[in-house]
C-alpha cells in the first residue's frame, strides 16, 4: 500500500498581520495541485496529522479573554473543515488533531493559582525553592513578575485545555471527544484500508506558560501503548503524534524527555510526528539493547508570526510518503516562498526531500514488529 500523510503543525496565526483562511487554504491546495509535477511526483495525501497549537492563545491580563479565544478557535476549526472538505470529501476523521502549548488557556492557569511574593526570610525562600523543584510540584515561578504562583484550585487548572476540547468536539461533530481527565487524554485513529494507526497524545500534561516542559500523563501513555499493541493492528504501520520536540538547548526547557520513546518503540510504533520547534527535522532513535527503532518527523509552523520562527527557517509543512509493501518512505518538506503575509497569498516550494530506504529506522521497526 502506497499513500502519503499531510503533516501540518503550529497553526497559530500572526495576530498582528493575520492571513485569512481562504488565502491560506488556497495556497496549500494550490501547492498540492503541483505534486504531480514534482521530481519525483508526490502522492496526494490520504490522512492529515495536525500536531498541535491550533491557536496563538490569549494573555492573562486581557480584560475579557473569552471572545478572543472563541474567535481564534472558530478560525482554526473553519480552516480544518475546509481542509477536510477539499482533500478528503468532507471526511473529518481523516484529520488527526491534538493540543499544543499555545492551546493552554493562560487565564485559567492564573485564575487557579495564588500569587506568592518572595519572602524576606531565607528559610522561607529555601522552602519555596525546594517545593518548586519537587516532583509533581504545584508551585510555579514567573520570571516576568519575579514571584511564585501556587496552583490552589486543581479542578480549574485542569480546565486550561477546555477551549481546545470545545473546538475538538465541534470539528468532529460529536464523533470524538477530548477528555478533561488527563489520564484519558489520548485517542487512536485507525485507517484499516491503509493499514495505518495513529495515536494522538497530549504532551501538555502539567504544562502551562509558567512551566513550559512537555510531559505525558503516565496512565495515558501506558494505556495508549497497550491499545496500540492490540492484535487487530498486527502488520499495520503504527504511528504516534504529539506536540513538543524531544530535545532542546541547554537553556531551554520546553521539550520532552526522550525516554518516553522507548515505550512507543516497544509497542511497535515506528513513526512519530510532532511540531513545536518550527523547523523540519528528521530524527532517529533506538533506545536500549533491542533492534527496534523509530523515525520522528517534525513539521515547521504553517502560519506563525516571524518572531516565532528560527532565523532562516520559513513557514512550511511536510508530506510523508509511505510504502507499507516495500517498507520505504520519503519526507518532503514544503517551505513557503514568500515569508511576508502582506502578499496575502503565500506560495510553497520543496526545499528538502528526505529519502528513507529499507535501512531506515522505521522500516526496521516495522519488520521487527511483523516477526514478533
366 pLDDT higher than 90: no
Which string of b and e fits 92-119 if b means at least 16 CB within 10 Å?
Answer: bebbbbbbbbbbbbbbbbbebbeebeee
Judged by average pLDDT, the poorest of 15-29, 191-205, 218-232, 286-300 is 286-300
31 pLDDT higher than 60: yes
Query: Is 318 in a helix, a strand, or coil?
Result: strand
Say which residue, 290 or 8, is predicted with more confidence: 8
Q: What is the mean pLDDT of the chain?
A: 87
C-alpha span between 369 and 267 (Å, rounded) = 9
Phi, psi of 297 (to 5 degrees): -120, 130
109 pLDDT higher than 70: yes
Sign of the Cα pseudo-torsion (35, 36, 38, 40, in order): positive
Average pLDDT over residues 193-199: 97
Count Cβ atoms within 10 A of the Cβ of residue 76 and give its class: 0-12 exposed, 13-18 middle, 19 or more buried.
buried
Q: What was the pLDDT predicted at 170?
A: 98
The answer to whether 293 touches 361, Cβ cutoff 8 Å, is yes
**Residue 287 binned pLDDT confidence (cut-offs 50, 70, 90):** low
The answer to whether 157 touches 109, Cβ cutoff 8 Å, is yes
Average pLDDT over residues 23-48: 91
Structural domains of the chain ordered from first start: 2-109+154-371 (3.60.21.10), 113-152 (no CATH)
- DSSP at 231: G
pLDDT tens-digit profile of 212-255?
Answer: 999 999 999 999 999 999 999 999 999 999 999 987 777 778 89
Q: What was the pLDDT predicted at 352?
A: 43
Judged by average pLDDT, the poorest of 84-88, 205-209, 257-261 is 257-261
Average pLDDT over residues 77-104: 98
Amino acid at each position: 500500500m502506497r499513500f502519503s500523510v499531510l503533516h501540518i503543525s503550529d497553526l497559530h496565526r500572526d495576530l498582528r498581520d493575520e492571513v485569512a483562511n481562504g488565502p491560506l487554504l488556497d495556497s496549500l491546495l494550490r501547492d498540492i495541485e503541483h505534486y504531480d509535477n514534482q521530481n519525483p511526483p508526490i502522492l496526494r495525501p490520504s490522512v492529515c496529522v495536525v500536531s498541535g497549537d491550533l491557536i496563538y492563545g490569549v494573555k492573562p491580563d486581557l480584560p475579557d479573554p473569552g471572545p478572543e479565544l472563541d474567535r481564534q478557535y472558530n478560525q482554526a476549526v473553519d480552516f480544518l473543515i475546509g481542509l477536510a472538505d477539499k482533500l478528503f470529501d468532507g471526511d473529518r476523521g481523516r484529520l488527526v488533531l491534538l493540543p499544543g502549548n499555545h492551546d493552554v488557556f493562560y487565564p485559567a492557569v492564573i485564575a487557579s493559582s495564588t500569587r506568592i511574593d518572595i519572602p524576606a526570610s531565607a528559610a522561607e525562600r529555601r522552602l519555596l525553592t525546594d517545593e518548586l523543584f519537587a516532583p509533581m510540584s504545584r508551585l510555579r515561578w514567573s520570571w516576568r513578575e519575579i514571584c511564585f504562583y501556587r496552583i490552589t484550585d486543581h479542578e480549574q487548572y485542569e480546565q486550561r485545555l477546555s477551549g481546545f476540547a470545545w473546538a475538538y468536539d465541534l470539528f468532529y461533530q460529536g464523533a470524538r471527544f477530548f477528555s478533561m481527565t488527563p489520564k484519558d487524554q489520548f485517542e487512536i485513529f485507525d485507517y484499516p484500508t491503509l493499514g495505518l494507526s495513529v495515536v494522538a497524545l497530549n504532551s501538555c500534561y502539567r504544562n502551562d506558560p509558567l512551566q513550559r516542559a512537555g510531559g505525558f500523563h503516565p496512565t495515558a501513555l501506558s494505556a495508549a501503548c497497550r491499545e496500540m499493541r492490540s492484535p487487530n493492528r498486527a502488520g499495520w504501520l503504527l504511528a504516534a503524534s504529539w506536540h513538543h520536540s524531544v530535545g532542546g538547548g541547554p537553556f531551554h526547557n520546553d521539550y520532552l524527555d526522550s525516554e518516553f520513546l522507548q515505550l512507543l518503540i516497544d509497542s511497535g510504533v515506528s513513526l512519530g510526528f510532532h511540531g513545536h520547534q518550527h523547523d523540519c527535522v528528521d530524527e532517529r532513535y533506538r533506545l536500549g539493547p533491542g533492534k527496534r527503532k523509530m523515525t520522528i518527523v517534525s513539521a515547521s509552523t504553517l502560519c506563525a508570526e516571524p518572531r516565532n520562527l528560527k532565523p532562516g527557517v520559513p513557514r512550511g509543512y511536510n508530506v510523508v510518503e509511505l510504502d507499507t509493501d516495500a517498507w520505504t518512505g520519503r519526507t518532503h518538506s514544503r517551505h513557503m516562498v514568500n515569508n511576508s503575509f502582506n502578499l496575502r497569498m503565500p506560495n510553497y516550494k520543496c526545499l528538502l526531500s528526505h529519502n528513507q530506504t529499507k535501512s531506515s529506522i522505521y522500516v526496521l521497526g516495522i519488520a521487527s514488529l511483523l516477526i514478533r
